Structure formats: structure tokens, C-alpha cells
Structure 1
């Protein structure tokens, strides 16, 4: 069908500053800085408050080469900090590469962050026309697609409301609907779909599959490997800003799973592949059994305690901190979500450091290995979010107390239930 995206020796460099108390900067320092070049660690003479700033090069991407054909559906995966978002910003023409070049044919519609391309003071209706104009579409073309966009986004009642009053879910629904329906040759979607509910995510995946079947190109970044597997015919794995695998989805996802397992074995406190403002920082995740004793393996049907140690920059006393723990398959399918605000276990004060314990009565998972994602947030910001913070191994347990269920063939859950035939006696049979 022809090459529609081509990246050649693509690289993106950032200069990171680290402040520290130092001596005053002299003319000699400035001259030496010019002689050594920006690539060396230097003291910046213009730092505020008489503080020195150590500058350091950071390559978010380096030597990226690939070609994508028209109609390809490509997944881009990798842990946080691997360079996925930087790559998408370059492909979306939001930022320029430091080295190399990228060639694109046709219109590009991107959904990278909640609110990208929307003006908060304009209504939903006005933003649909604004986004269409940005994509280079005529008013008549946008008008023809208008009803389909509104129906897909499910925001009819709020169409003439400024989008600054939208919830994050409404924002994403409308943004995706605009991006997908205005017929770009290339559709780029980042992890923002995680904001929507499960039903809308399924709807979006269906739309992206439809877009791909029409001969348009789809690039999808997601931590949900099941979504990547079902939608994409090719997957690119990034790590430390480089392409480490590119090809068949099953093989690349297996390589990614192995990489995550290796990463999750590292001390959590040292992990830098995390998101958040750092006001809360998780330092370790562990597990305890029914007796409160540390355990490396959990039993189906037994109580499990997930223990997260943390540290705060300062004590938090606003009563708005929410903690969540997700248990997922190794391919990223979410199975269980535990949140303290769901259960009404709210904390008026979070001490500067401590131990957070989530107790799960009668663990309903079948034997297998699962991954744990942990998050601390408030109503405005994510404070710490770590994907694959730990792995949980579950082994067979006597969930029903009958001795009959050892290794269920269907799953992934076990659930309490009873049977009866009206008018017939019931006998409790426990297997020996």
C-alpha cells in the first residue's frame, strides 16, 4: 500500500537541570562552559537565588528507525520513561526531533493528553469545528460528520457547554470522537483512553479497528496488552529510548512481559519509571497471609493483605488522598481494583511515612502470576503511580471448603455461590 510513516535516525535530547548550593559563578566558569560544550555537566551562571544548576543531557529517544505502511495498526509499548510519548509528539508534529527526521503522508489526528487541541472556553460544538479546521477540513465536511461525532461521544446534553466544565471522561470521549471521525490518514492514540469507562474503551477499540479496515493507519500506545493484541498487527517495543523489538504482537508482548518481570524485582524505591508529583512516594510492596505473616505466595480463598510502605514530602491533612491497588494479568488486563474511597475508608491525615494495608478477604483468583499496579492521588493530581510495582503468585487453595476445586479450568475468578432444587433435600458433601 506504500510507506506512510518513515523515521530515520530519530533522536530527541533534553537538557535537565539539577539545583544545588554552590559557590558563585565566575567569568572563568562561563568561558570554560563555552569551551567544553553543553554536553558536559556545567554550572549555569543564571540560576536563581545564587544556586548552581548542574546541566545534564538526557536522550529520550536515540537512533529510532522504522517504516509503517498505509493501513497498518501498530502498537507502541514500553514502560514509563521508555520514550513512547516523546515519539508520538514528534510524529504528531508537536515537538521537533534533535537528530534525524520523520516523513508522514496525509493528515494526522492525535489524542495524546486529555484536552490536547481543545480550547477550554469554547463549547463542545465549537471545539468540534475548531479541531476539524486544525486538521485542514472544510466546514461542509465537518458538518457532514457532526452528528456521528456527537452520537459517538454521548455528550448531546452538554454540547453547548464550555469544555472546561466537562469531566475527564467527557473530554476524552469527545476528543476521541473528533479524532476518529474526521477521517485522518493517520490516527495516533496515547494511553488517555484509560480515563474512559470499560464500555467506552471497547467502543473506541472497535472504532480504531474500523479505521484500520478502511485503509487508514493507527498507532496505539497502551499498557493494556490485551487491547494491543486484539487491535494491532505489529508491535514496537521501546526501552530507554531505543527500539528493542519490532514485529509479531505475541512475540513482542512476551519480550515486554519478561522485561517487566525483571524490572518489578528491583527495589521499588529506586524505580524511576513512575508518574506523579512525588508528594507521596511508594517505597515497597509486600504481602501478608491470614496470620499477618509475610508471604511470597497467596492461596485462593485465603485472606490476603497487600502492604505498601510510603513516604511523603510533608504530612497531608486535606482528607482528599485516594489510594488504589489494581491486580492485573501479566498482559495488563485489569481484574480487581481496590480503592479506599470506594469503601469509605478515608484518611483525614496521611503521616509523613507509614504502612498502607489493604486486606482482601478470601482472595478470589485462580492459581497464576499477576501484577500489581499502585497509585496515590487526590482530586487534582496523581502523586505516585507505578505500573507493575510487584508480582503476586497465587496457588491453589480450598476456596469452597469442599476440597474439590484444585485448579479451575475456567476463570480467572472464583465466587461464592449455592445450589438448590425446590422441594428436594440438600446434602452437604465434603470431598475427602
Structure 2
């Protein structure tokens, strides 16, 4: 049951303590009274544990994300936070009223107009007539469905229904907003409006709990993320760290599944690259540094030509593969990140060993040490990610004239100092 957060926990808007949710499923359902009378109640039942001892806290004014595969319990958790479900065990405490965007447009009556449904849906959400009146113009403007606002909702497209439902739900500034991944059915322009508004709400202090399958959105929007798997919490923490761990687990699971299905003989993995992330359809097995003559060199020289030769081993033929590179400092700051797709090049990797060259006419990195990341990817599917595993030592054959991580292209300096025009003395007519 949802109860208020105690005064001792004023830093938190939501506390979830040891929550479990179980559903009793019937293999042979008796949906009608007649079926139950004739055939009796179904005896073939089993318990589905949607959530199992889940605990987390959400600080006030932050955005908290829930990620995980379909069926991991994310939407069930949101419905418990919204008060739609009651937990089987455990408790949920909230600091104030919760506004939920679980199924946008749910509660709309098809025979009523959009304007009439604003009042109906607003009442369902607990809004007063005065609040709805004051926000009506904003809702109509934000939904941007034109003259359809006075047409029956039954003639609306799904996107128009989403627009109106979202606008109605967020018109009154919520203190706690629960959002399931429902905005995805809107068009690109409307999605941007929604996310911009959510950022504004976050900046104004609204606490947001968000379920999304977009990992980039989770890392961009969320302060913290919880990763659920089969109803259990696998990890809670910084968005980047949790998403990276989740992605690694997904890739490993996919690699094991493909290996079992295809029965392919695994290539022996080479140290130190066997710990690379990705599904393993190919692996980066080494990087050579080549000078202008094509000879391998132990370190990179500032101001000289350089070829990075990235060796790769593919388990099968792969097509339209993009190779991305990243150059980062010891502290993890990315200095540059060229990739082949941006340069108009995708590769076909044949089963077995091959290599790809990336050449630059002049090394602009200042002397020191950088770490090289390589990533083989196609359409967002990561085959291999070697994250800062290759050390790059940069040397110079002369003293450096300028500090910094990189040297800029030559700029232009003025020949002499300039002077601002003197202000006129209006009183003396000068």
C-alpha cells in the first residue's frame, strides 16, 4: 500500500521497501459465469512472481530510471508506485500525490470530443474543475491537434490520442511523475516536446520515475537507474554504470544464445581482449602503430604521419560494419572519436582474421599517454567494444611550444593591437 514518507526521510520522495508482487495464473481460464458453473473453477494454477523483494529510494527532485528486459517487472513496479496495484509484500511510501503516465489516453470516451475528454480525464486524475479550466488553453496548445479538439475521440489516430493524454496528464505541475514508455508512439516532433517538458519539470523540482528501453535516454535523463531482471534488483546506482552493466549482460546472454543455436566452434580468445564487451561475433585482437613507411613503431610521434592498424577476428561473415575509435586520457576524458560511418565507409568482415587501417597525416596529440577504444558495431548492435584497453604513448622530437592535450590548426593573430572607437562627447559636440 502507498503511504506518506515519514518526516525522518525528507530527502526522499519515494521509498520502496522489500516489495514483492505475485499473480496467480490459471492455465485453463473460466471467464464467464456459465463456464464456471458448467466446468467448475480452474484448478491448474501457478504463481507468477513479477517482483521479488525490491527496494530502492528516489531522492526529491531527481529522475530515477528502471531498465531491464520485457517481463522484468518494470511496469508492475510503476503500477504499484501509482497505486494501481497493491504489493503482495512490502511497502511503498511517497512524499506527495503521484501523477502517472502509464497508458496515455486510458479513460478517454470515444463518443466524447477531445475537449470533453480533457475534463473527464482530468477528473479521473483528481483535478478540480477550476484547475482544468485554468490549464485548458495550455493543454489544447501543447496537444496541437487543431480542430480535432472538438471532434469525437473515436476518430483520432493513436498519435493524436497520445498527444492529448500526455498534455492533460502534465498540465498541472506534478510533484511526483511516473512515466512508462508510452511516448514512443508519438511522432518525432512530439517526442521532442515531451522530453523537453520533462527536462523542464525535472529542473523545477519534479521527481520523475521513468521506465524506458532507450538506454541512451536513461543515461541522458536519469540521475540513478535500477536494473531489474525477472523481478529482482540486479544493480542500483549511477546511470552510466548501471546501463553499461546491463548492456554487458544483454550482450553476453545473446552471445551464449547464438552459440547454442548455431553450434559454431568458438575461436580461442586472445589476451587481453577476451574481456571485451559486445556479443562477440567479432573481436578486436590487437592494434599496431605504423609510421609513414608502414613500419611498426613502439610509440607515436607528435607531428608525424600515423596509421592505426586494428586487427579483428570474425566468427562469421559480417556486413555493413562500422568501426569507431576513441582517444581518451587517463581520467577518461575523450579527446577525439572518429568513426568510419561518419566518413562514409562500412566494412564487410569475412570469417577469420583481417585488419582495418585508420591513417592521419599528422599526429596532433601532445606528448603523454592516451587510451584507445575500438568498437565494431552495426545499426546499434555492438559486436565488440574494447574500452580503453590499448595504451598509446606519444613522444615528440622537439620541445613543445604550447600546452594542452592537442595542438590546434594554426590560427591567425592580428598584426597590431586594436583600439575601441572613442565615445563622442555629446555635450561639447565632439
Query: Does residue 100 in structure 1 map to residue 90 in structure 2?
Result: yes
Deviations 1:247-286 (A, max 9, x none): 1010011011012112323548x99xxxxxxxxxxxxxxx
Query: Does residue 65 in structure 1 map to residue 55 in structure 2?
Result: yes
Indicate which of 246, 254, 259 corresponds to 1:256: 246
Counterparts of 1:19 and 1:206 in 2: how far apart (Å)? 46
Indicate which of 3, 21, 35 corresponds to 2:12: 3
Indicate which of 18, 22, 27 corresponds to 1:18: 27
CA RMSD of aligned residues (A): 3.9
- The residue aligned with 1:151 is 141
Instruction: Evaluate the alpha carbon distance shift between residue 364 and residue 126 of structure 1 in structure 2; reply closer, same or farther with a 3 A threshold.
Output: farther
Counterparts of 1:208 and 1:141 in 2: how far apart (Å)? 20
Does the 8 Å CA contact 1:205/1:227 hold for their aligned counterparts? Answer: no
Query: Does residue 141 in structure 1 map to residue 150 in structure 2?
Result: no
Counterparts of 1:215 and 1:297 in 2: how far apart (Å)? 47
Can you give the 5+ residue segments of structure 2 that lack an aligned partner in the other structure? 1-9, 30-34, 262-280, 282-314, 323-340, 349-355, 357-373, 386-430
| Aligned 1:239-250 pairs, distance under 5 A | 239-250=229-240
TM score, norm. by length of structure 2? 0.57
Instruction: Evaluate the alpha carbon distance shift between residue 369 and residue 15 of structure 1 in structure 2; reply closer, same or farther with a 3 A threshold.
Output: farther
Query: Does residue 109 in structure 1 map to residue 88 in structure 2?
Result: no
Counterparts of 1:252 and 1:237 in 2: how far apart (Å)? 7
Instruction: Evaluate the alpha carbon distance shift between residue 86 and residue 48 of structure 1 in structure 2; reply closer, same or farther with a 3 A threshold.
Output: farther
| Aligned 1:7-86 pairs, distance under 5 A | 7-19=16-28, 54-86=44-76
Counterparts of 2:146 and 2:63 in 1: how far apart (Å)? 30
Q: CA deviation at 1:114?
A: 4.2
Deviations 1:309-345 (A, max 9, x none): xxxxxxxxxxxxxxxxxxxxxxxxxxx9xxxxxxxxx
Q: CA deviation at 1:131?
A: 2.5
Indicate which of 194, 214, 217 corresponds to 1:204: 194
Indicate which of 132, 151, 168 corresponds to 1:161: 151
Deviations 1:102-129 (A, max 9, x none): 1223222212124323233322112212
Counterparts of 2:140 and 2:378 in 1: how far apart (Å)? 37
| Aligned 1:25-424 pairs, distance under 5 A | 54-267=44-257, 295-300=316-321, 368-370=375-377
Does the 8 Å CA contact 1:114/1:168 hold for their aligned counterparts? Answer: no
Instruction: Evaluate the alpha carbon distance shift between residue 371 and residue 238 of structure 1 in structure 2; reply closer, same or farther with a 3 A threshold.
Output: farther
Does the 8 Å CA contact 2:104/2:166 hold for their aligned counterparts? Answer: no
Counterparts of 1:55 and 1:371 in 2: how far apart (Å)? 44
Q: Secondary structure at the match of 1:244?
A: strand
Q: CA deviation at 1:211?
A: 0.7
Q: Secondary structure at the match of 1:81?
A: coil
Instruction: Evaluate the alpha carbon distance shift between residue 371 and residue 263 of structure 1 in structure 2; reply closer, same or farther with a 3 A threshold.
Output: farther
Q: Secondary structure at the match of 1:4?
A: strand
Whose Rg is larger? 2
Does the 8 Å CA contact 2:63/2:208 hold for their aligned counterparts? Answer: yes
Counterparts of 2:223 and 2:149 in 1: how far apart (Å)? 36
Does the 8 Å CA contact 2:321/2:378 hold for their aligned counterparts? Answer: no
Does the 8 Å CA contact 1:59/1:241 hold for their aligned counterparts? Answer: yes
Instruction: Evaluate the alpha carbon distance shift between residue 97 and residue 204 of structure 1 in structure 2; reply closer, same or farther with a 3 A threshold.
Output: same
Deviations 1:83-112 (A, max 9, x none): 001001111111111111212232222121
Counterparts of 2:142 and 2:192 in 1: how far apart (Å)? 12
Does the 8 Å CA contact 1:129/1:139 hold for their aligned counterparts? Answer: yes
Instruction: Evaluate the alpha carbon distance shift between residue 69 and residue 48 of structure 1 in structure 2; reply closer, same or farther with a 3 A threshold.
Output: farther
Does the 8 Å CA contact 1:132/1:182 hold for their aligned counterparts? Answer: no
Q: CA deviation at 1:51?
A: 11
Instruction: Evaluate the alpha carbon distance shift between residue 47 and residue 114 of structure 1 in structure 2; reply closer, same or farther with a 3 A threshold.
Output: farther
Moved more, 113-122 or 165-174: 113-122
TM score, norm. by length of structure 1? 0.57
Counterparts of 1:186 and 1:266 in 2: how far apart (Å)? 40
Moved more, 208-217 or 11-20: 11-20
